[in-house]
Structure 1
């Protein structure tokens, strides 16, 4: 079996390791079936071709595609450039791709859609995702209910559906929760790998990054613990099963 390429963008080791473990656990993978690259501290190997992998999974991170170049740290700029460098081959050849959180911004930006903080930012916590007619017909969502909760918490979002993309999931705060380009290129605004424990870890790590008032961290953790968020991981599991 060809390995899955997992690109991680979080410069905090604890958050990155926790996310990687979630990708393995929720996707039904072991480490030998993946090629993990932490883009915050590694460059893409020379000659890396996404077409050599069963699929590509891009994780989330605190950076924003829509930030002006002079507001990005050198690490954020390098991460974004590395991800974008792979997108022409991925979209041209319809390489299986699952962009989680940051990944929808990368895909949208590559396809020429507006990604910004103008509208559709989301508070940290669960949000109800609703399947569109195309979503109900998509193979990755076939086993899921038409409505389910997922964990979100974002400063930026797609402001429009990219040209040529299919709209799969929406929510009240953010209309573009999941899209598809071609037949195999997917991206979600929400975190398909995240459960309450994982989100608690991220709340602790990112409490001073402007996502929420730091003094509300305890309340947010309690809300996440009480939420029924179990369906999103089925999307990640289905992606791996379909393309492994």
Structure 2
């Protein structure tokens, strides 16, 4: 288990930082539901999952959990909402305590910002669809990412990115749009720009919402829709994280 001395089942908190579109929630579930559906291995091992909406609820003590996943959001890190800014020192305390962390999209950008990098709007605009990522040398040696092929597909939708990485963070995966698609911030602290919890159907729903924006920046939304693929390698990271970093030392 993690650094805590509590006995009993491993406890994982999902820090909910936003809500998906209403049609996505209706047909596929909200962000937290998509994560829970992917964490079959953790649940089969008796792990307990708690969803904490950090926009409204008090943050728990770092020692209350054995691991934390920070979800995506339609909010923007650069807006510096009070709840978001309050989460940064909590993440720094968790990092110092070596609590396993896994940030996704907004969570990735927030962790990068909290740990000494900078998050903001990407100069090339929005990235959406199933995109091909490439492991770095560090990624090929990483305990979580080494089991992935050197090039793998992932679901993406984001307008902001980690524009600069924290000085201590290692780059694990990249593509032409974003050199920091996956970062390791410490022994058990990870974040990814892509959405390992998304299915192609969820990404298709996001493409439908973002057709006009994508067309305005010179992309073909129909071609992006036709290019949607399953992304089992990217999705496998969630169970790998909880089984290797949260349940096991």
Of residues 159-168 and 25-34 in structure 1, the stretch that sits farther from structure 2 once superposed is 25-34
Distance 1:90 1:211 in 2: 37
1:43 aligns with 2:57: yes
The question of whether the paired residues in 2 share the 8 Å contact of 1:119 and 1:157 is answered with no
Residue 3 of structure 2: aligned partner? none
1:52 aligns with 2:64: yes
1:37-71: CA deviations, max 9, x gaps? 1234x3225xx11332121001101111123x5xx
1:201/1:44 Cα in 2 relative to 1: closer, same or farther (>3 Å)?
Answer: farther
Residue 4 of structure 2: aligned partner? none
Deviation (angstroms), 1:223: 2.9
Among candidates 205, 221, 229, match of residue 227 of structure 1:
229
Residue 177 of structure 1: aligned partner? 181
The question of whether the paired residues in 1 share the 8 Å contact of 2:12 and 2:66 is answered with yes
* Other structure's SS at 2:77 match: coil
* Other structure's SS at 2:194 match: coil
Deviation (angstroms), 1:234: 0.7
1:63 aligns with 2:75: yes
Q: Structure 2 unaligned segments of length 5 or more: list them.
A: 1-8
- Normalised to the residue count of structure 2, the TM-score between the two structures is 0.81
Deviation (angstroms), 1:203: 4.3
Q: Structure 1 unaligned segments of length 5 or more: list them.
A: 70-76
Q: What is the number of residues matched between the two proteins?
A: 229
1:33 aligns with 2:45: no
Distance 1:146 1:221 in 2: 22
Distance 2:13 2:150 in 1: 30
1:102/1:32 Cα in 2 relative to 1: closer, same or farther (>3 Å)?
Answer: same
Distance 1:39 1:59 in 2: 10
